[in-house]
């Protein structure tokens, strides 16, 4: 593996990357940004960013690149190469071990300037909304988040489709200037296959540590263990549960299916479920293989958090509930009658 130093972005008159759209130099390549990857390997939004970059590259003929930002990220760098990145730009520094919006934007700008790409692809993650729009503004090519579809056009630009107004409408944006930043919705792109026989050229880029921290927030440490956003099965409950103690049915069915429980904002506000289990526009965005919505009407704010699920099952007493417009399978019935039966069936199937 050959490692060399990339050049830093020019600050005067805009970054070098930001001048790409002005015709000053040719740009080519699609780069996936991977920020603070976990020690156990790439997951969730990082893999979707690589998959999205690969899908776009297949249409445009550009190379697939990656930028890995963090500390002690050699395993993530190797995996990015094994998953198809031809070149990986690495910002590895101790101050990048924990997320800082200023530091990540600076490091990402360095990577984009060194790579001279046309398009930056970012998957959905905990801090994506904090740094991706800032990176788009810094680079000057524009940024669209929550993208559900990308359509390259004949002259090298892009038309991207994104949900707006809480998921009740879709907007089409055309991104002609480069480098453009595209933030993917969960589930849009599958993870690229991993091949241990592949490797990438590695380029070290500057990771400035001079950015002043303008906001300091004290907060409890995140819970360890499985993350709701990465669950293959999610069973969520809403007001149709009628009482807080009935949320135990949601937890039991989720456990029987090997999944995790979720909740609508309404019952989180009631105190029936913790906020970390809330699914929706103001909660977690999930894209499981199976999503069961029990006693949830299907308001657009909730569906923004689960509409990309592969299979969605709706359970509701109202046959005209919006949830049935999204559901592949619908059960028109009382969740308090349906859930115990599903629990019994899943228990029997498991031999218990």
* Residue where a domain stops, chosen among 171, 204, 237: 204
Q: Do 161 and 249 lie in a common domain? A: no
Residue 218, in any domain of the structure: no
Angle, helices 247-256 vs 335-349, to 10°: value is 30
Residue 215, in any domain of the structure: no
User: Do 192 and 283 fall within a single domain?
Assistant: no
92: enclosing H helix or E strand: strand 87-92
Local confidence band at 99 (pLDDT 50, 70, 90 cut-offs): confident
> Residue 243 is part of a domain; what is its CATH number?
3.40.50.1220
pLDDT confidence band for 19 (50 / 70 / 90): very low
Q: pLDDT value at position 290?
A: 97
Please tell me the predicted confidence (pLDDT) of residue 187.
81
Judge if 39 and 170 occupy the same domain.
yes
Number of domains in the chain: 2
Q: Judging by beta carbons within 10 Å of its beta carbon (0-12, 13-18, 19+), is residue 271 exposed, middle or buried? A: exposed
- Considering the domain architecture, whether residues 73 and 167 belong to the same structural domain is answered as yes
User: What's the pLDDT score for residue 165?
Assistant: 74
Same domain, 177 and 272: no
Is position 212 within any domain? no
CA distance 34 to 49: 8
Residues 178 and 306 in one domain: no
Smallest CA-to-CA distance from 286 within 36, 32, 35, 45 is with: 45
Q: Which domain holds residue 338?
A: 228-349
Whole-structure pTM value: 0.67
pLDDT by residue (tens digit) across 152-210?
776 666 788 988 776 678 899 988 788 999 999 888 888 999 999 999 999 999 887 76
Chain centre to alpha carbon of residue 228 = 13
Residue 112 within any structural domain of the chain: yes
pLDDT at 224: 60
Residues 173 and 257 in one domain: no
Q: What's the token pair of residue 350?
A: 């498991």
Split at pLDDT 50, 70, 90, the class of 20 is very low
For residues 7 and 88, state if they share a domain.
yes
Q: What is the pLDDT of residues 213-264, one digit of tens each?
A: 555 666 666 556 678 988 999 999 999 999 999 999 999 999 999 999 999 9
Distance CA 7, CA 200 (A): 19
User: 121 and 245: one domain?
Assistant: no
Residues 6+ apart with CB under 8 A from 178: 20, 21, 27, 117, 118, 119, 141
Lowest mean pLDDT among 118-122, 159-163, 272-276: 159-163
Q: What percent of the chain has pLDDT over 70?
A: 86
pLDDT, tens only, 47-92: 999 999 999 898 888 999 999 999 999 999 999 999 999 999 999 9
pLDDT band at 1 (very low <50, low <70, confident <90, very high): very low
- Whether residue 179 is found in the same domain as residue 327: no
pLDDT at residue 263 in the model: 97
Looking at the fold, whether 122 and 268 belong to one and the same domain comes out as no
Residue 86's CATH number? 3.40.50.620
């Amino acid at each position: 593996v050959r490692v060399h130093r990339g050049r830093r972005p020019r600050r005067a008159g805009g970054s070098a990357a930001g001048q790409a759209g002005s015709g000053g130099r040719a740009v080519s390549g699609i780069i996936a940004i991977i920020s603070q990857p976990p020690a156990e390997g790439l997951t969730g939004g990082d893999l979707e960013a690589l998959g999205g970059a690969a899908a776009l590259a297949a249409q445009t003929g550009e190379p697939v690149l990656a930028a890995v930002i963090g500390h002690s990220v050699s395993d993530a760098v190797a995996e990015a190469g094994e998953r198809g990145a031809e070149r990986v730009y690495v910002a590895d520094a101790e101050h990048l071990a924990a997320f800082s919006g200023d530091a990540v934007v600076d490091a990402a700008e360095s990577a984009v300037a060194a790579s001279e790409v046309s398009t930056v692809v970012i998957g959905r993650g905990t801090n994506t909304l904090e740094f991706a729009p800032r990176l788009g503004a810094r680079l000057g090519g524009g940024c669209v988040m929550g993208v559900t579809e990308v359509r390259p056009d004949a002259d090298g630009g892009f038309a991207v489709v994104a949900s707006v107004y809480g998921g009740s409408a879709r907007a089409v944006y055309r991104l002609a200037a480069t480098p453009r930043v595209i933030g993917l919705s969960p589930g849009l792109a599958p993870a690229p296959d991993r091949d241990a026989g592949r490797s990438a050229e590695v380029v070290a880029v500057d990771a400035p540590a001079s950015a002043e921290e303008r906001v300091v927030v004290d907060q409890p440490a995140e819970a360890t263990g499985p993350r709701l956003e990465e669950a293959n099965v999610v069973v969520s409950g809403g007001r149709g549960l009628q009482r807080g103690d009935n949320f135990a049915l949601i937890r039991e069915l989720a456990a029987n299916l090997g999944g995790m429980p979720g909740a609508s904002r309404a019952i989180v506000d009631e105190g029936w479920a913790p906020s970390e289990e809330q699914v929706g526009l103001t909660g977690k965005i999930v894209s499981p293989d199976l999503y069961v919505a029990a006693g949830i009407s299907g308001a657009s704010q909730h569906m923004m958090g689960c509409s990309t699920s592969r299979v969605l099952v709706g359970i509701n007493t109202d046959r005209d509930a919006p949830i049935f417009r999204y559901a592949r399978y619908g059960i028109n019935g009382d969740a308090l009658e349906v859930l115990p039966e599903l629990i019994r069936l899943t228990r029997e199937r498991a031999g218990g």
